[in-house]
Amino acid sequence: MIAAYSSSQLILVVDDDPHILEILEFSLTSAGFAIITASGGEEALALFREKAPALVVLDIGLPGRDGLWVCQRIREESQAPILFLSARDEEVDRVMGLTIGGDDYVTKPFSPRELTARVRAILRRGAPAATLPSIDGQGGADKWRNGRLKLNPEAHTAHWEEQEVELTATEFQLLKTILARPSKVFTRDELLDLVYRDTVVSDRTIDSHILHIRKKFGSRGGKDVIQTQHGVGYKLGPG
């Protein structure tokens, strides 16, 4: 199956089990990726050469040309990331798979949500680092203020009016990221790229941290420090 896609979002999923293909296609398309599928090694290699996907989810135990063969052929011409699937959990299989060019390894049975999170993490590691535009021109400490909200990045402190709000390191980084672009609405994926670049987490982790930040500031009278833009994501509140 081939859907409309951009080259940065296309995933090739290779497995000889139709049920697994169906599960992965649903999970990955729900996460915003486009999917092409193959059930055999030679078909997978042909699709890879034709479509140049951003990442390959590859079952090791394929009939005929197995996943290790496919990985070796791909590595002769591309460094596209490969995430192995296997029903075998022996250490030798894992080491062999990663040594010949795999980027990660998931053992069956697996959680579709975890696999999707690993796919996102692999693609983030290979992408240019997401950055925020310079805000130095806003001047001095004022660039970390928004009304009654004030952050001090050097001291790693947050205040609402004159009351300190204790935040975890992740919560502080998340709020700092949003404060750096006060007029921007951030999607969950953008916040994942900026805050959790090298960590595998569910996109719902963002919701949990936002909730904690709101509760902490809410106890100081700043419950709207971060607002929800329904259907899009999160933005800085009025302060």
Confidence of residue 126 (pLDDT cuts 50, 70, 90): low
pLDDT at 43: 96
The C-alpha atoms of residue 174 and residue 165 are separated, in whole angstroms, by: 14
Tell me the mean pLDDT in the region 201-209: 75
Selected residue with higher pLDDT from 133 and 49: 49
Sheet holding 145-146: strands in order across? 145-146, 149-152, 157-160, 163-165
pLDDT at residue 5 greater than cutoff 50: no
- Specify the amino acid at residue 152: N
pLDDT at residue 224 greater than cutoff 60: yes
pLDDT at residue 58 greater than cutoff 80: yes
| 28-33, Cβ contacts within 8 angstroms, sequence gap of 24 or more | 28/116, 28/119, 29/3, 31/116, 31/119, 31/120, 31/203, 32/189, 33/9, 33/119
Instruction: Give Dmax (Cα) for the chain.
Output: 68
Query: pTM, whole model, 2 decimals?
Result: 0.57
Domains with residue ranges and CATH for the chain: 10-126 (3.40.50.2300), 136-236 (1.10.10.10)
Tell me the mean pLDDT in the region 192-212: 74
Helix (H, G, I), strand (E, B) or coil at 235: strand
Average pLDDT, the chain: 82
- Of 11, 75, 18, 71, the closest CA to residue 41 belongs to 71
pLDDT at 198: 55
Q: In sequence order, what are the residues at sequence separation of 6 or more whose Cβ sits closer than 8 angstroms to the Cβ of residue 30?
A: none
Q: Which burial class, exposed, middle or buried, applies to 107 when counting CB atoms under 10 A from its CB (0-12, 13-18, 19+)?
A: middle
pLDDT at 124: 75
**Looking up tokens 């994926």, which residue turns up?**
189
pLDDT at 2: 41
Confidence of residue 69 (pLDDT cuts 50, 70, 90): very high
Return the top range by mean pLDDT from 67-71, 85-89, 153-157.
67-71
pLDDT at 155: 87
pLDDT at 7: 43
The C-alpha atoms of residue 137 and residue 121 are separated, in whole angstroms, by: 33
pLDDT at residue 136 greater than cutoff 70: no
User: Which has the minimum average pLDDT: 39-48, 124-133, 153-162, 195-204?
Assistant: 124-133
The per-residue pLDDT for range 99-108, each reduced to its tens digit, is 778 888 888 8
**Looking up tokens 């300190």, which residue turns up?**
164
Confidence of residue 11 (pLDDT cuts 50, 70, 90): very high
